[in-house]
């Protein structure tokens, strides 16, 4: 939860098990990727074990023209993907893997949405892009019941019509970090959505003149946000919400980070995934160092913003 004292914000973690997609305990170390040219793969970040689970020719996902990059929907050994008026489910427990296609009739042809599992029953879907709205962006929030496979429109809307948010979860709180507004401007803010009250509030705004927020994550152990910025050689910044102070850390990656995501492993590591990467980058919070892990694992098919890619503990 968040308490306000003067101009500072104190965030009190709801649970000791708090990170991007973790729902069952344990550190995040399993990466899933769907790529339209390769299919579905699973990588163990600790052991390096690499499996192709489903060939691209058996994908079943048609007309893949939108970005799945900011979706985080690996739940109870199933992957969910949301695209316009359809959604796709892949049950990883089946002996014969096959994507199942169903209708998302209320989605009004929305795409490039951000989504995350709440650790209980719902996947929350935020914002996105639409060709049917004057601004081209969206303010709607949906929740998808993973048990009943039903969509519900949340009464709360985004504070800014936007897309491409980095999402992370801490107990009942989902943090929306960064994103783009109607005019493709960086909104450079951090908002907090509570899944119980369905209240959305802004907790931080970073002046563009300071640095650009490309992606980020909340680290409860350190009580701060780690933000990736392309303002100057893709530096990490540590943002302390209790003081409003940003501390510039080392440059981690020299490539493009417009499409990028950070995953906190629940302990001392942050994984960086970015479009064009052929490796996975690991930032050690305690040591303030960056290293490539599983170097060149994507050398023949670098990460694309069209990919679905997430790190979980399953």
pLDDT bin (cut points 50, 70, 90) of residue 4 is very low
The per-residue pLDDT for range 5-43, each reduced to its tens digit, is 344 555 545 543 444 544 445 678 899 999 988 899 999
> 188-227: string of b/e by CB count within 10 Å (b at 16+)?
bbbbbbbbeeeebeebbebeeeebbbbbbbbbbeeebbbb
Contacts of 6 (CB under 8 A, 6+ apart): none
SS3 state at 184: coil
Predicted TM-score of the model (pTM): 0.90
Backbone angles phi, psi at 58, to 5 degrees: -110, 20
* pLDDT tens, position by position, 81-128: 998 888 999 999 998 999 999 998 777 678 889 999 999 999 999 999
The domains of the chain are located at 16-312
Q: What is the CATH number of domain 16-312?
A: 2.120.10.80
**Residue 265, Cα to own-chain centre: how many angstroms?**
13
Question: Which residues lie across from 143 on neighbouring strands?
Answer: 124, 152
Distance CA 191, CA 203 (A): 6
């Amino acid at each position: 939860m968040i308490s306000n004292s003067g101009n500072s914000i104190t965030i009190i973690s709801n649970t000791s098990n708090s990170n991007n997609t973790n729902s069952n305990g344990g550190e995040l170390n399993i990466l899933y990727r769907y790529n339209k040219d390769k299919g579905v793969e699973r990588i163990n970040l600790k052991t390096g074990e690499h499996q192709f689970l489903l060939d691209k020719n058996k994908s079943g996902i048609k007309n893949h023209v939108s970005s799945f990059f900011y979706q985080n929907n690996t739940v109870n050994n199933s992957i969910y993907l949301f695209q316009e008026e359809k959604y796709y489910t892949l049950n990883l427990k089946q002996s014969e893997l096959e994507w199942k296609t169903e209708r998302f009739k209320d989605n009004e042809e929305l795409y490039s949405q951000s989504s995350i599992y709440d650790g209980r029953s719902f996947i929350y879907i935020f914002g996105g892009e639409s060709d049917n709205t004057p601004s081209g962006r969206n303010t709607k929030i949906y929740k998808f019941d993973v048990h009943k496979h039903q969509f519900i429109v949340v009464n709360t809307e985004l504070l800014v019509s936007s897309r491409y948010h980095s999402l992370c979860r801490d107990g009942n709180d989902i943090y929306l970090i960064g994103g783009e507004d109607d005019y493709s401007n960086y909104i450079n803010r951090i908002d907090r959505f509570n899944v119980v009250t369905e209240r959305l509030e802004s907790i931080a705004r970073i002046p563009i003149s300071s640095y650009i927020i490309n992606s980020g994550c909340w680290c409860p152990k350190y009580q701060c946000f780690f933000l990736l910025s392309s303002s100057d050689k893709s530096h990490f910044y540590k943002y302390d919400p209790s003081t409003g102070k940003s501390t510039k850390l080392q440059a981690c990656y020299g490539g493009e980070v417009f499409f990028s995501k950070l995953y906190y492993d629940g302990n001392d590591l942050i994984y960086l995934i970015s479009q064009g990467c052929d490796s996975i980058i690991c930032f050690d919070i305690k040591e303030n160092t960056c290293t490539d892990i599983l170097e060149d694992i994507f050398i023949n098919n670098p990460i694309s913003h069209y990919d679905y890619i997430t790190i979980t503990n399953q």
